[in-house]
Structure 1
Amino acid sequence: MIQLEHITQTYTDPSGNTFQALKDVSLEIEDGEIFGIIGRSGAGKSTLVRCINLLNRPSEGRVIVNEHDLTALPESELREVRRSIGMIFQHFNLLSSRTVYQNVALPLELVGTPKDVIDKKIRPLIELVGLTEHVDKYPSQLSGGQKQRVGIARALANDPKVLLSDEATSALDPETTVATLALLQKINRELGVTIVLITHEMNVVKQICNRVAVMNKGEIVERGNVIDIFARPQSETTKALIGNVVASDLPESIIERVRSARAARSSHEEVHLLRLSFIGDEVTQPVISECSRAFDINFNILRGTVDDMQGRSLGTLTILVEAEADVYEKAVHFLRQRGVNVEELSDVQ
């Protein structure tokens, strides 16, 4: 288990001004799970993940990994414990003068591991990440996705119990991102490695994580199971992150329909772009049609999906509603009373 207890990180600039990158953050991550930490740029998520292996030593608080209080260890013992914590970087950090094999083998070479032991260890790792045919190539001969796979294999060289992934997919195209996340899931499943994944993309969290913590301005503003966070976000930060995903997924033709509806609305009507979400059995209930009949209100469905997340169904609808204010409020209340989460999206203007 990873336990972060009251972590605060304060920086002082040359002029003596102080800035708190982390503010009294406490967090527990269970063995064997894939845990996401998400937030916008500057939220403090990368600073926080670097506290887990003490690459960033917090100003206050304790970091406990597998029952070791890293903040209390002398440097010699800390180095030993760090070997059980692998790290994957956004920009790969490969040595251009070394082959795939040599890059993956580097952590073992640095601790004096015999060559025959290295070979027995490294070749299966290269096979695990799907780079057997590229074992003697140099980084300049690899694609971005292949470079990241080298970084993943290298991070696994010391048999880590924890794998930290700091924006590991943000430099990759969407197709390669999906493949890389599938590889991380395979590693988690087959090797039992706990993965802590830092990202600013809700789609990444949605695909791979069991639980997630949402950060804003150095604090955790929400945490929980991914499906619950997606279905019923509580903080404004989380709602905005999910709303950005929905809005960015809408085709331009639909966005134009939204704009046209708003431009053509009558003086007594309001136009609302909503995201409705349902969990489990709610997905199969006819609540939309019931609401439409009850309040004589039309729902223009723009997009709908049903996803399977951790064995549960999550349904989402993006809809356009034109109605008078009092009718709209009654309809929203009706939906929420029946377990539907209703969010207004403001990202499409």
Structure 2
Amino acid sequence: MIELKSVSKQYLYGARVLVSTDMTIKSGEIVALLGDDGSGKTTFLKVVAGVTDFEGEILFDGEPLAKKPDDVVMVFDDLALFANRSCYYNLAYPLKIRGVSKDVIDQKVKACADRVGITASLYSGVRKLSLIDKKRLAIARLFLRDCKVVLIDDITKGLDKDEAAVLWQEVAPALQDFAKEGKCVIFSTRDYKEAISIAKRIVVMHYRQIKQIGTYEQIRENPDNVWAAQAFDPDYAFEKAKLSFEGEKLFATTEDGYEIDLGHLVGRIADSYVGKDVYIGWNSDKYDVFGDRKEKVEHAFGTTDGYVLKCGNRKVKSREKLEEVGTLPLANATLVFDETNENSIVTK
């Protein structure tokens, strides 16, 4: 089990990452770090790996993780390969510096190369490899020795869509196997589909800050802020409105005059927000497509489970192909966010 206690990281130029972060990652758990480039994912992994300084404390099974460097293996985003050496050398080196015998090194190197499908390139120089095979070589290092913590940084970065899908299909089962063996597994990605495919919990990161930690279902249904909401739905609907009470009923009135019933949020929003401007939001599959505020569909894109209907800046998910579509949310689908900081104002 990994425990982060009041962990922070500050760079020399002043930027702070992981401000006073507390988090526990159980043995056998897979955690995904989800965010764009520059969100702090790599720094998070490097802090856990102990390859960069930080404030606070990181424990593994109750002892400082920094005292157990051999318990951690990491695939860096730059792969950290010896570019002028052979694939064989790259796999053999970590074992050689630990005093492993040549026979055992040879056996392990060949077994690991076979596992990731690069046996044919084992004696070739790294520079001759395609990017996807360089990534496979880096992944092969994970199988060289026993460990307790596995860290992988954005392994599909730089690949085209098809190659990324192929590599992820190879990597995901391996990470699941590590978890079944009781290892702590943390990987970073910019693709929410990768994150939700195997991770038990997801850490949503944005601009060097952790925005929310939870399961996919928890974050999608009850996002702490707009960034967390958009992490799993790039087309998340988001617009300004004003809150009001009519009797005991709570409503949000959009800027173009449409009234949305927020009965499901009565008692969950502070009275101080009534009469004030807020942001309302809902997932792109929660539109009332046959409801009010119809808009003309400009383009319709077919998907595996229906259509994505483009109306101006909106993308509405629908089971049917329509010429015009309602662009207000379904009942009970709307959440409310503070206009200033864009954090959720709905109590859970």
Q: TM-score, normalised by structure 1?
A: 0.68
Query: Residues 296, 166 of structure 1: CA spacing in aligned structure 2 closer, same or farther, 3 A cutoff?
Result: closer
Question: Quick one: which of 84, 87, 94 aligns to 1:97?
Answer: 84
Task: Specify the code of the residue in structure 2 equivalent to 1:237.
Answer: W
Match of 1:28 in 2: 24
- Give 2:203's aligned amino acid: A
Letter in 2 for 1:169: T
Q: Is contact 1:277–1:341 with CA below 8 Å preserved after alignment?
A: no
Structure 1 or 2: larger helix share?
A: 1
Is structure 2 residue 147 aligned with structure 1 residue 160? yes
1:36 to 1:114, Cα distance in 2 relative to 1, 3 A: same
- Counterpart CA distance in 2 for 1:49 and 1:273 is 32
SS of equivalent to 2:15:
strand
Q: Which residue of 1 aligns with 2:110?
A: 123
d(CA) in 1 for partners of 2:39 and 2:122?
A: 38
Show the 5 A alignment for 1:37-48: 37-48=33-44
Structure 1 Cα separation of the partners of residues 5 and 325 of structure 2: 45
Q: Structure 1 stretches of 5 or more lacking a match?
A: 72-77, 248-266, 279-286, 307-315, 345-349
Q: Which residue of 1 aligns with 2:9?
A: 9
- Name the residue aligned to 1:195: 185
Q: Is the 8 A contact 1:24 1:219 kept in 2?
A: no
Cα deviations by residue, 1:114-169 (Å, 9 ceiling, x for unpaired): 10111222222111112222222221221111110100112332222221111221
Percent of matched pairs sharing the same residue: 23
One-letter amino acid of the counterpart of residue 80, structure 2: N
Q: Distance in 1 between matches of 2:236 and 2:75?
A: 28
Change (3 A) 1:218 1:246: closer
Match of 1:335 in 2: 331
- Distance change (3 Å), C-alpha of 1:42 and 1:141: closer
Q: 1:288 to 1:12 in 2, by over 3 A?
A: closer
Q: What's 1:233 paired with?
A: 223
Q: Does 1:223 align with 2:213?
A: yes
Question: Is the contact between residue 231 and residue 341 of structure 1 (CA under 8 Å) also seen in structure 2?
Answer: no
Which residues in structure 2 correspond to 1:1-349 (within 5 Å)?
1-13=1-13, 18-58=14-54, 60-70=55-65, 78=67, 81-191=68-178, 192=181, 193-244=183-234, 275-277=283-285, 292=290, 318=317, 321-322=325-326, 328=328, 332=329, 334-336=330-332, 340=333
| Alignment partners' CA distance in 1, 2:108 and 2:128 | 24
Match of 2:273 in 1: none
Measured in 2, the distance between the counterparts of 1:245 and 1:100 equals 42
The one-letter code matched in structure 1 to 2:36 is R
Q: Contact 1:203–1:245 at 8 Å: present in 2 too?
A: no
Report the equivalent of 2:263: none
- 1:151-210 residue CA offsets vs partner (Å, 9 max, x unmatched): 011233222222111122112222222222222222123343432112233233133322
Instruction: Provide the rounded CA distance (Å) in 2 between the counterparts of 1:235 and 1:304.
Output: 28
CA distance in structure 2 between the partners assigned to 1:26 and 1:273 by the alignment: 29
Matched length: 280
Give the 3-state SS of the residue equivalent to 2:19 in structure 1.
strand
CA RMSD, 1 decimal: 3.5
The unaligned stretches of length 5 or more in structure 2 are 238-255, 260-279, 306-314, 319-323, 338-348
Asked if the contact 2:5/2:21 (under 8 Å) is kept, the reply is yes
Q: Which amino acid aligns with 1:40?
A: D
CA distance in 2, matches of 1:162, 1:12: 28
Q: 2:90 & 2:131 partners in 1: Cα distance?
A: 15
CA contact 2:229–2:236 (8 Å) conserved in 1: no
What secondary structure, in the 3-state scheme, does the structure 1 residue paired with 2:24 have?
strand
- Alpha-carbon separation, structure 2, partners of 1:189 and 1:243: 25
Check 1:303–1:32 CA distance in 2 against 1; reply closer, same or farther (3 A cut): farther
Structure 1 residue 296 displacement after superposition: 6.5
* Contact residue 188 and residue 194 of structure 1 kept, 8 A: no
Amino acid at match of 2:22: S
Q: Read off the aligned partner of 2:64 and give its amino acid letter.
A: D
Which AA in structure 2 matches 1:55?
V
- TM-score, structure 2 normalization: 0.69
Q: 1:25 to 1:187 in 2, by over 3 A?
A: same
1:24 is matched by which residue type in structure 2? S
